[in-house]
Structure 1
Amino acid sequence: MIKSWEAFERYAEEYDAWYEKYKPAYKSELLALKTFLPDNPEDLKTLEIGAGTGRFAASLGFRYGLEPARAMAEIAEKRGVQTVLGVAESLPFKKESFDLILIVAALSLFRDQAQALREVSEVLKPGGKIVTGILDRNSLYGDFYESGKKEGRFSSEAKFLSTAEVSGWLTDLGFEKIKICQTLYMQPEKIEHIELPQTGSGTGSFAVISARKPGSSPSVRPSLRG
């Protein structure tokens, strides 16, 4: 990750409190992510990259996390996520060791997004799946996030991405079955109820992209959600 991860080290508790303050937005993001997750993540070897304080990994049943900020990792550990200190561009894991990898919002903070996704491809098993949530630069509120990032403690050096960029990188790496859904149709502080995800992108500021690495799929009970 780029230098901005140092803010996560210093203000981990403040970062974590955001999810309580804007719980309907957080719950909406969880619901969108679940759209592309299997019903039995606890039966798989799962990893969240950029796991932060473990809010998503713990809620979604992910066992392992990777996080560069020790203060964040310590909170994730308290939530039951086995967290390793490290960066996405050089994953400290064996090749083809995970069935399912999650990245939520952290992709915009990686120093080299394409390299990070190459690393994901290396550590995913054949047939394994990546699910990544991004703040979509090309959504209706993309300009709002872009214009406000310099004032943001946690987003000052973020490089917000579009679904087309991320999908293009995944396609170049040979991933298949790329699917996209979206949520957060208003600014987070204005959301009062959990929003249902919709297919596609461009309207919701939080987009979720799912893709599979070619090969035989891990043993997963099928989900009606895709």
Structure 2
Amino acid sequence: MANDMTDCPDHRRPASIAPLDAWYGSTLGRELADQEARCLERMLRDTFGYYLLQVGGGTALSEAIQVSRVRRRILLLPTAAPYSLGLQTVAVPERLPIAADSVDLVVLPHTLEFADDARQVLREAERVLIPEGRLVVFGFNALSLWGLWRLVRRGQGGLPWCGRFLTSFRICDWLSLLGFNIELQETMMFRPPWRRALLQQFSFLDTLGRRFWPVFGGVYALRAVKRVSTLTPLRTSWKSRRPVLAAGAVEPTTRETATRSVGLGKTAEGTRV
């Protein structure tokens, strides 16, 4: 069994992002960190911009983020950390101290599982992203062997099993309501979350899982784009309305006046004949 007895954070505190750095140091955590880093590199390959905001997650994905084309990186943590990953900010994910429509890319590495309000975190991510900005979410899948093991370990505490695992289907539904479109989706870690399962003879489970039952991976990754509907303004009509006569009749146009004149001429001529 993996060494994952790190205490779970108290969700009653304002700073409710779980510091996963200690758990990433375990055997199981190192394997997951390696797979997530490779996945993040693929998801950031064609992204660029001025600002990248990482909410939680610590240093596990730092190398993958360094290869991105985003110029400046902001790391938001619940408490100050001794390491540096660009500009470091201490805040809670439900109230990001970031201006609206100012960030090109937001990365949430297992932030939703340990937040007090996961939907509010997504709302904040949508708020700070610019139109056509990207959001990357890593999460533990409730519909997996990892989710089943969490049910067994939940009463014992320890990271990451004390978190609230969600499914990728629910995350996609929430993102759709916020106006996001899902661009990429990957799953990983199809082996049971045990140290022995990481041996080479069990690697076939990852191969079979990716091919036959991808929705049951222990961890999912999503990349979504913020869509903003553009409204085409109606052009103001500068054509003046025809004046209304005192009697309430509409004043005839020039064409109507000419037609009436011709009609009267024919009538007069017929009378003279």
Same-fold call, TM cutoff 0.5: yes
Give how far 1:159 is off.
Answer: 1.0
Distance 1:35 1:88, change over 3 A: same
Match runs of 1:66-105 below 5 Å: 66-70=76-80, 73-75=81-83, 77=84, 80-105=85-110
Give how far 1:35 is off.
Answer: 3.3
Tell whether 2:197 aligns with 1:213. Answer: no
**Whole-Å Cα distance in 1 between the matches of residues 23 and 46 of structure 2?**
29
* Aligned residues of 2:54 and 2:76 also touching (Cα < 8 A): yes
1:30: which partner in 2?
37
**Whole-Å Cα distance in 1 between the matches of residues 161 and 31 of structure 2?**
24
**Whole-Å Cα distance in 2 between the matches of residues 114 and 6 of structure 1?**
14
* Aligned residues of 1:54 and 1:81 also touching (Cα < 8 A): no
Tell whether 2:178 aligns with 1:164. Answer: no
Give how far 1:6 is off.
Answer: 7.4
1:2: which partner in 2?
11
Structure 1 vs Structure 2 CA RMSD: 3.1
Give how far 1:56 is off.
Answer: 1.1
Which structure 1 segments of 5+ residues have no match?
217-226
Give how far 1:192 is off.
Answer: 4.5
**Whole-Å Cα distance in 1 between the matches of residues 16 and 93 of structure 2?**
15
**Whole-Å Cα distance in 1 between the matches of residues 224 and 138 of structure 2?**
12
Which structure 2 segments of 5+ residues have no match?
1-9, 230-273
* Aligned residues of 1:29 and 1:184 also touching (Cα < 8 A): no
For residues 25-82 of structure 1, the C-alpha deviation after alignment (integer angstroms, 9 at most, x for no partner) is 32112222333223465x541011113x322134322721111033xx323x2xx332
Match runs of 1:1-226 below 5 Å: 2-3=11-12, 14-15=22-23, 17-18=25-26, 22-39=29-46, 44-51=50-57, 53-61=58-66, 63-70=73-80, 73-75=81-83, 77=84, 80-155=85-160, 157-188=162-193, 189=195, 190-192=197-199, 198=210, 201-215=214-228
Distance 1:192 1:95, change over 3 A: farther
Identity %: 21
Give how far 1:109 is off.
Answer: 0.5
**Whole-Å Cα distance in 1 between the matches of residues 28 and 216 of structure 2?**
23
Give the SS at the match of 1:88. Answer: coil
* Aligned residues of 2:188 and 2:210 also touching (Cα < 8 A): yes
Give how far 1:8 is off.
Answer: 5.6
Query: How many residues are matched?
Result: 206
* Aligned residues of 1:180 and 1:201 also touching (Cα < 8 A): no
Give the SS at the match of 1:100. Answer: strand
**Whole-Å Cα distance in 1 between the matches of residues 145 and 162 of structure 2?**
21
Distance 1:35 1:146, change over 3 A: farther
**Whole-Å Cα distance in 1 between the matches of residues 156 and 22 of structure 2?**
15
Name the TM-score, length of structure 1 as normaliser. 0.77
* Aligned residues of 2:145 and 2:192 also touching (Cα < 8 A): no
